[in-house]
Structure 1
Amino acid sequence: MTQPLVVFVDRATIPSQIHLPDLAFGHQWVSYDSTSPDQLSGRVQDAEIIITNKVVFDAAVLARLPRLRLLAVAATGVNNIDIDYCREHGIAVTNVRGYATQSVPEHVIGMMFTLRRNLMAYHQDIARGVWQQEKQFCFFTHPIGDIAGKTMGIIGSGTLGQATAKLAEALGMHVMFAERKGRSDCREGYSPFSQVLQQADVLTLHCPLAEETRNLISSEELEMMKSDAILINTGRGGLVNEAALVDALSQGAIAGAGVDVFTQEPADQSNPLLANQHLPNLLLTPHVAWGSDSSIQKLAGILIDNINAFMCGKHQNRIV
């Protein structure tokens, strides 16, 4: 009996130092660092199991894969998969959850301190020789804010939102969870969306990207925020209107922003954030909030466990 073919189409999305555990069943294994759209069909034509992180599998691609039984997504988000097609055609889809509950919240806190204390701006001033010009043992060209006693607004109350809340509370912050935008009544433990925007000193996003959350934060929402507030997005790029964010930062509508995710990745100079990356109140990182070594190793273990479970007939981390 022919062993099932397992193809990992974008292995380079997981750092090379991360060990992928062995699968617990006989199989053929093929791995590619990356796969472009024009390479995809030829590489996975005979695959029964496909591992993907960010490679897109839409209906047109899936229709050409008659042997496919499982799409194992090496991430939490599955917006690169046509879930409806998979459901209709009996293709299982799994994802990986709960692996970055330390890494992402710590990244948020790191961005928060960097922006609140204007560390980027002071670094740039030293590089420009401002310290030498001032001729003092220190200089204060940018405000330095404390965190204790401030309010963190969190949009998204899942595992990552809750873990971020715990760190914020440990630092002496008051935490508010935002109710869904447009909802008139609030669930217990939530505050109205607009109220959270108006009261938050730090607003952090941890909700999924869907049609109802695309451009969740745009000009109108940014105008609701305090002028000394900061926005942090480690969720999905499409949650924030990037051009509106640059305008808000340039005009002083908000004090700063930390962005780890972009509408298109990798982002290029056509992205307003990259075009304005030298703003002293804008901190950019390349979608790495999730990526501590310990988190990625945990992801790799869950990914392989999902595939082993599927082959044993178990429903583990199944989307479909």
Structure 2
Amino acid sequence: MKVLITFRFFDEWVNRIRENGIEIIQWKEEKAPPKKWIMDNVTDVDGILCTLNTRIDKDIISIAKKLKVISTYSVGFDHIDVKEAKSKGIKIGYTPEVLTETTADLIFGLILAVARRIVEGDKLIREGKWMIPWQPDFLLGYDVYGKTLGIIGMGRIGKAVYRRAKGFNMHVIYYSRSKKYDIEAEYVSLDELLQRSDFVVVTVDLNESTYHMINEKALKMMKRNAFLINASRGRTVDEKALVKALEEKWIAGAALDVFEEEPINKDHPLLKFNNVVVTPHIGSATFETRHKMAEIAVENLKRGLRGEKLVYEL
């Protein structure tokens, strides 16, 4: 059998795939492979192991005549033409649950960083601009404890953020597709959440209903001392509207781990604001989590090649 790996992967897990004589074609550069490279190499593969930065579309799926399984090294799967793959009987595996707690850790880190101006303080010291030991109005931020946290999308990650918020004595409100009965949080409409929250956290999948759900209308509903936090999918936020909101001070700031286009351009207007904290899509980036994701992705791949039910299957 033959497998196409579309990204630079841990050697130990590549070797696990090679077991039982599986042949591997692998893209090993940092940047995502061009579509032409995938098209040139996918025609006779039995499996694909990919990530979020590689689009597995109808064109690719249509010429992969032997393809049995697509295993994505991610919890998201909007980069795969799921409908086309399923129409051809191709199994699709992904890696949910394992990155839930790790991503929630980062989200709370972003909340603290933007509210307490941690990144600004670090930069100030490194640039030699901390001149006075202490003064009453120096680098004033906002409290996190006791505030209202609004979570958009109360799935696994939303619930993990909720648990952390309780430790900060925050009042949690949420908007989701359905009411959850296993948490003690207040279920509200999206409009009410935006109007009441001190921190708005987006933890939704990307689909037609969530694309640009945080738009100009939504941002205008937020309080002027509220913060937007996004570590879900970049395209859930209309970045042009967010830039306008920051310029006109509709909100107090934002913290973002994901962007509409990644990597974000160094000249992007979002990067000019001191009240915006940015990280390079590292929600699941810990040694423990990334290797656990690798274990699941490889097992999904192997099971798919054998025609068995995957560990996590769409």
Normalised to the residue count of structure 1, the TM-score between the two structures is: 0.88
Q: Say whether 1:73 aligns with 2:75.
A: no
TM-fit CA distance, 1:307: 2.1
Find the residue that maps to 1:276 and give its secondary structure: helix
Q: Say whether 1:298 aligns with 2:296.
A: no
Name the CA distance, whole Å, in 2 between partners of 1:223 and 1:154.
17
Distance 1:62 1:109, change over 3 A: same
Pick one of 192, 195, 204 that aligns with 1:195.
Answer: 192
Pick one of 150, 153, 174 that aligns with 2:150.
Answer: 153
Distance 1:318 1:139, change over 3 A: same
Name the CA distance, whole Å, in 2 between partners of 1:9 and 1:72.
11
Name the CA distance, whole Å, in 2 between partners of 1:312 and 1:48.
11
TM-fit CA distance, 1:199: 1.1
Name the CA distance, whole Å, in 1 between partners of 2:22 and 2:248.
57
Task: Count the aligned residue pairs.
Answer: 304
TM-fit CA distance, 1:25: 4.2
TM-fit CA distance, 1:230: 0.6
CA contact (8 A) 1:102 1:295 kept: no
CA contact (8 A) 1:18 1:296 kept: no
Find the residue that maps to 2:71 and give its secondary structure: strand
Q: Say whether 1:222 aligns with 2:215.
A: no
Name the CA distance, whole Å, in 1 between partners of 2:21 and 2:123.
55
CA contact (8 A) 1:21 1:300 kept: no
**Hey, what does 1:45 align to over in structure 2?**
43
Q: How does 1:244-259 map onto structure 2 within 5 Å? A: 244-259=241-256
Distance 1:21 1:176, change over 3 A: farther
TM-fit CA distance, 1:123: 3.7
CA contact (8 A) 1:8 1:51 kept: yes
**Hey, what does 1:32 align to over in structure 2?**
27
What amino acid maps onto 1:77 in structure 2? G
TM-fit CA distance, 1:192: 1.1
Name the CA distance, whole Å, in 2 between partners of 1:18 and 1:48.
21
**Hey, what does 2:279 align to over in structure 1?**
285
CA contact (8 A) 1:18 1:293 kept: no
Find the residue that maps to 2:272 and give its secondary structure: coil
Q: How does 1:105-124 map onto structure 2 within 5 Å? A: 105-124=104-123
Find the residue that maps to 1:291 and give its secondary structure: coil
TM-fit CA distance, 1:125: 4.3
Q: How does 1:73-152 map onto structure 2 within 5 Å? A: 73-126=72-125, 130-132=129-131, 135-138=132-135, 140-152=137-149
Distance 1:269 1:128, change over 3 A: closer
TM-fit CA distance, 1:142: 3.5
Unaligned runs of 5+ in 1: none
Distance 1:224 1:31, change over 3 A: same
Unaligned runs of 5+ in 2: none
Normalised to the residue count of structure 2, the TM-score between the two structures is: 0.89
What amino acid maps onto 1:318 in structure 2? E
TM-fit CA distance, 1:115: 1.0
Q: Which moved more, 1:227-236 or 1:55-64?
A: 55-64
CA contact (8 A) 2:243 2:269 kept: no
TM-fit CA distance, 1:312: 5.3
Find the residue that maps to 1:131 and give its secondary structure: coil
TM-fit CA distance, 1:131: 3.4
Find the residue that maps to 1:168 and give its secondary structure: helix
Name the CA distance, whole Å, in 1 between partners of 2:76 and 2:179.
26
Q: Report Cα offsets for 1:238-274 as digits up to 9, x if no partner.
A: 100101111111221111100111111122256xxx3
Name the CA distance, whole Å, in 2 between partners of 1:163 and 1:217.
22
Q: Identity over the aligned pairs, expressed in percent? A: 25
Find the residue that maps to 1:72 and give its secondary structure: strand
Name the CA distance, whole Å, in 2 between partners of 1:190 and 1:94.
32
What amino acid maps onto 2:94 in structure 1? N
Name the CA distance, whole Å, in 2 between partners of 1:8 and 1:128.
42
